[in-house]
Structure 1
């Protein structure tokens, strides 16, 4: 299987943007009121599928040197991709490898959320737990992603596009984590632990992921620009 590096990167960015947009839309109360809870749930399912597709494509990109070590000319040349790899000492690969199963957990939780009349125990087991596991993996992946582009975790490099992307995604992961915790269904009341936080965390977290994905496009153009004209990384 072969791919053009520039097109693979663009595909990853757009898949993440579409997936994020679905989560943003699904967490807007007016949208839920207009189309109903079941269709809103389908919106989340679709978004999670786009997330998983983007995450796997990013994993393939990170484990294929021919997809990243390119310049303005070679970015347009098709090259074989590695569908499987093991690069635990490469932080970029490790971040992608941790993120991918996180998206699979979101697939599970969003599909399970379509079940009607679930008890609190069932909702916590089949929806909340996978959501929590996915959020934890996203948070770990984002932390590794920050370390992949920074000398130290709290190094300030605002001129660096990869640094901006990493920290926007980190904020998104923190917000998703807050939403996951708040989505716990309290057995004694059958209500969420924090309904407003659950919705707000999903909405703003998805907005962060949308912004981070959109920044991948100009970041790529900057990375492959000729050295003589390229701005600081």
Structure 2
């Protein structure tokens, strides 16, 4: 779930890679829930696409975390890997987002080997998926507040606000997918599967749009010296 960029001491291409990796990960989560794609490649490959997408999300979120905690520092300082800045909303947003991607790593990896009919499915797959969705929702809301400047602020007519808004919509769709997969977990029920897949694809589409918008958003800002 890409957020807006801030000048940092990291290489100038870092922001490009963040956008590209989020876009690639979103594309994986967009195509993998499509039934036609799953039938074409088979359940094993389809699950692998989900897993690869989660790894791309984690890599992008890790770079975004580094960019966030190193923003505003003077040139020549050593790159920081960890900080404790609880008063910075960006610190919370990027940190919670990174945590959420790790939950999705666990979910998509375990889903490769644990079927819906398994009694351990909820513990090994659904719970990490729900926790990841919660983290994304918190992170997306914090990023939205950071941009609008108010907990219930309206979206502004800026590219930065558009990115935060579409990302928050994606987080809501991912959350709806997690809820649907638990509330209507009837195995073989095409309607429940359609709801889960549709919400996942919709959320991924929102993230993809947000990631693609990062390219012109970053191009408008001057590069750090």
TM (norm. structure 1) is: 0.84
Asked if 1:21 corresponds to 2:27, the answer is yes
Structure 1 counterpart of 2:51, from 33, 37, 45: 45
Which residue of 2 is the match for residue 61 of structure 1? 67
Report if the CA contact (8 A) 2:155-2:165 is conserved.
Answer: no
Separation (CA, whole Å) in 1 of partners of 2:29 and 2:59? 15
Report if the CA contact (8 A) 1:3-1:80 is conserved.
Answer: no
Which residue of 1 is the match for residue 4 of structure 2? none
Report if the CA contact (8 A) 2:27-2:205 is conserved.
Answer: yes
Which residue of 1 is the match for residue 148 of structure 2? 150
Deviations 1:47-98, CA, capped at 9 Å, x for gaps? 000000101110100000248x9xxxxxxx9974321111111111210011
Does the residue aligned with 2:205 lie in a helix, a strand or coil?
helix
Deviations 1:109-140, CA, capped at 9 Å, x for gaps? 00111115553431111111100000001000
Report if the CA contact (8 A) 1:87-1:93 is conserved.
Answer: yes
Structure 2: runs of 5 or more not aligned: 1-8
Cα distance, 1:157 vs. partner?
4.0
Separation (CA, whole Å) in 1 of partners of 2:155 and 2:179? 31
Report if the CA contact (8 A) 1:55-1:103 is conserved.
Answer: yes
Moved over 6 A (4+): none
Structure ID, larger Rg:
1
Structure 1 residues 78, 27: closer, same or farther in 2, change over 3 A?
Answer: farther
- Describe how 1:105-124 pairs up with structure 2 within 5 A: 105-117=103-115, 119-124=117-122
Asked if 1:213 corresponds to 2:211, the answer is yes
Separation (CA, whole Å) in 2 of partners of 1:19 and 1:117? 23
Structure 1 residues 3, 29: closer, same or farther in 2, change over 3 A?
Answer: same
Separation (CA, whole Å) in 2 of partners of 1:93 and 1:223? 21
Does the residue aligned with 2:221 lie in a helix, a strand or coil?
helix
Report if the CA contact (8 A) 2:96-2:138 is conserved.
Answer: yes
Which residue of 2 is the match for residue 135 of structure 1? 133
Which residue of 1 is the match for residue 167 of structure 2? 169
TM (norm. structure 2) is: 0.87
Report if the CA contact (8 A) 1:66-1:79 is conserved.
Answer: no
Which residue of 2 is the match for residue 183 of structure 1? 181
Structure 1: runs of 5 or more not aligned: 70-76, 226-233
Which residue of 1 is the match for residue 10 of structure 2? 3
> How many equivalent pairs are there?
214
Cα distance, 1:155 vs. partner?
2.5
